[in-house]
Amino acid sequence: MTARRALVTGAGGFIGHHLVNRLKDDGYFVRGVDIKLPQFQDTRADEFLQLDLRVWENNLTAADGMDEVWALAADMGGMGFISAHHAEILHNNALINLHTLEAARQKGVGKLLYTSSACIYPEYLQEGTDVAPLKEADAYPAQPQDAYGWEKLVTERLCMHYRQDYGMDTRIVRFHNIFGPLGTWDGGREKAPAALCRKIAVAKRAANSEIEIWGDGEQTRSFCYIDDCITGLVLLMQSAWQEPINLGQDRMISINELADIIGGIAGLEVAKKHVVGPEGVRGRNSDNTLLREVLNWEPKISLEEGLGRTYEWIEQQVLSTEKVMSYT
Ligand code: NAD
Domains of the chain in sequence order: 5-178+224-247 (3.40.50.720), 181-221+251-283+302-322 (3.90.25.10)
* pTM check: above 0.95: yes
Q: Among 87, 73, 91, 57, which Cα is nearest to 17's?
A: 73
Query: pLDDT tier at 77 (50, 70, 90 boundaries)?
Result: very high
Q: Collapsing DSSP states into helix, strand and coil, what is residue 108? A: coil
CA nearest 227: which of 41, 17, 42? 17
Pocket of ligand 1 (CB under 6 A): 10, 12-16, 34-36, 52-54, 72-76, 92, 96, 115, 117, 175, 177-178, 184, 191
Q: Is pLDDT above 70 for 328?
A: no
Q: 9 CA distance to ligand 1 centroid (A)?
A: 9
Atom of ligand 1 nearest to the CA of 178: 40
Distance, in Å, from the CA atom of 176 to the CA atom of 228, rounded to the nearest integer, reads: 12
12 CA to centre of ligand 1 in angstroms: 9
CA 164 to chain centre: 27
**CA angle 156–157–160, rounded 5-degree value:** 95
Average pLDDT of the segment spanning 51-69 = 98
pLDDT tens digits, one per residue of 96-148: 999 999 999 999 999 999 999 999 999 999 999 999 999 999 999 999 999 99
Using one digit for the tens of pLDDT, what is the confidence trace for 145-182?
999 999 999 999 999 999 999 999 999 999 999 999 99
CA dist., res. 137 & res. 25, Å (int):
34
Among 48, 72, 184, which residue has the most ligand 1 atoms within 8 Å of its CB, making it the best to mutate?
Answer: 72
Q: Which of 258, 244, 115 is nearest to 192 (CA)?
A: 258
- Which pLDDT belongs to residue 321? 87
Distance 36 CA to ligand 1 centre (A): 11
Cβ(306)–Cβ(251) below 8 Å: no
- pLDDT for residue 107: 98
Strand partners, 29: 5
Mean pLDDT of the chain: 96
Task: Tell me the mean pLDDT in the region 197-212.
Answer: 95
Q: Find the mean pLDDT for residues 243-267.
A: 98
Distance of CA 297 to CAs 114, 199, 234, 286, 294, Å? 20, 34, 12, 15, 8
Instruction: Give the active site residues.
Output: 148
pLDDT of residue 322: 58
Give Cβ neighbours of residue 117 (< 8 Å, ≥ 6 apart).
Answer: 148, 149, 152, 174, 175
**Which uninterrupted H or E stretch holds 208?**
none
User: Ligand 1 atom closest to Cα of 96?
Assistant: 18
- 10: phi > 0 → left, psi -120 to 50 → alpha, else beta; which? left
